[in-house]
Amino acid sequence: MKPKVLLSRVGLWSAMSVTSAALMITLAPLTARAVSIPTEVTEEGKKTYSNYCAPCHGDEGKGDGSLARSLLPKPRDFTRGAYKFRTTPSGSLPTDQDIYKTISYGVPNSTMIPWDILTEQQRASVIPVLKSFSEAFEVRKPDAAVGVGLETRPSEKTLAEGKKIYEEKLECWKCHGVEGRGDGPSASEQEDDFGFPIKPFDFTTGKFKGGNSSTDVYLRFTTGLNGTPMPSFAKELTDEQRWSLTHYVLSLIKPEECPHK
Ligand code: HEC
Ligand code: HEC
């Protein structure tokens, strides 16, 4: 890549992070700090779940609701307690806040919409219902969230370092492809833990399932996506290297193909 192209991508990236910062403010609160999440299943939670979630996720949370058959990716089966989008380490349960964020943000590139037609209280009320579908929440607690250090500023240097990690050190390209289109040599053989085919994410689309902020991307490859072949790279990198890799992954977004631009 020529330095000039690289630089303009850095420019774009900073513009993007400003936009997403603005978005965060208008969408706030995505986190549940302001709403209280009930610790027990309530009538409100049961009613909200059966009206809005059961058609896909099923009456018992097995991901087998009446609409599920025709969908791919499949609605999550909640019985194993395997959640993709977390702030907690690989293999851990998610925190209530992690679940709240997914419900509010939705999962782009799937039929899971952002549930902003529900009040914050309704969104909070379904959390104990989801947890009640899995014994895992009775016997374990979520581990503490992984530490996310202070973000470095994206520059040509961090992008070059990130590229090296992506292409040589950790070989992300084997699944995600050299240009990040989700078409690496191992891409077609991936399956999730439920036996369904799963595609490595296409970074060029720009609509990350777990959120587009740099912290979101940092967390995805640091915690891994439970229940999927996307591993956790928690031990391989220093905090600075993680930000470099994050900046590089974000630089793979193709603005001309990104519907938000
Ligand atoms: C139209 C179908 C549909 C409906 C209705 C629906 N979901 Fe989903 N949901 C999905 C799909 C599909 C996924 C999996 C997306 C993926 O992994 O790419 C999902 C994933 C999730 C996840 C997984 C998060 C993770 O970290 O793995 C949660 C939590 C969730 N849904 C909660 C809800 C709640 C709560 C409701 C009701 C308010 C709801 N969903 C309604 C289709 C639906
Ligand atoms: C074995 C194949 C494999 C390897 C190697 C791999 N990934 Fe993934 N990755 C996946 C799959 C599959 C998904 C999609 C999961 C989904 O859609 O739920 C994914 C998802 C992601 C996401 C989440 C995007 C979103 O939608 O929020 C990020 C970020 C990511 N990978 C980064 C990386 C980075 C960085 C590396 C290298 C350090 C890497 N991946 C290596 C298979 C892989």
Q: Is the residue at 127 inside a domain?
A: yes
Q: What is the pLDDT of residues 54-68, one digit of tens each?
A: 999 999 999 999 999
Residue listed under structure tokens 């072949």 = 229
Q: Is the residue at 31 inside a domain?
A: no
Same domain, 127 and 167: no
Judge if the beta carbon of residue 228 lies within 6 A of ligand 2: yes
Cα–Cα distance between 44 and 126 in angstroms, integer? Answer: 8
Same domain, 245 and 163: yes
Same domain, 56 and 120: yes
Q: Residue 258 has what DSSP assignment?
A: -
Q: Is the residue at 44 inside a domain?
A: yes
Give the ligand with the smallest distance to the CA of 226: 1
- Establish whether the linkage from the previous residue to 73 is cis, with ω within 30° of 0: yes
User: Where residue 199 sits, what CATH number does that domain have?
Assistant: 1.10.760.10
Judge if the beta carbon of residue 221 lies within 6 A of ligand 2: yes
Which residues form the domain of 154? Answer: 3-24+150-257
Q: pTM to 2 decimals?
A: 0.89
Q: Is the residue at 112 inside a domain?
A: yes
Cα–Cα distance between 82 and 135 in angstroms, integer? Answer: 11
Which ligand 2 atom is nearest residue 109's CA?
Answer: 26
End-of-domain residue from the set 117, 139, 161 = 139
Whether 103 and 66 have beta carbons less than 8 Å apart is answered as no
Same domain, 96 and 162: no
Judge if the beta carbon of residue 110 lies within 6 A of ligand 1: yes
The pLDDT of residue 261: 42
Q: For each successive 10 residues of the chain (261 residues), what is the average pLDDT?
A: 41 43 45 78 98 98 96 95 98 97 96 97 98 97 96 97 98 98 96 94 96 97 98 95 98 76 42
The pLDDT of residue 255: 76
CA geometry: angle 43, 49, 50, nearest 5 deg: 90
The pLDDT of residue 257: 61
If phi > 0 it is left, if psi is from -120 to 50 it is alpha, else beta; for residue 61 that is left
Same domain, 196 and 224: yes
Same domain, 17 and 43: no
Residue 222 half-sphere exposure, CB side, CA atoms within 13 Å? 25
DSSP count for the chain of H helices, then E strands = 10, 0
Same domain, 11 and 57: no
Give the ligand with the smallest distance to the CA of 167: 2
Cα–Cα distance between 226 and 229 in angstroms, integer? Answer: 8
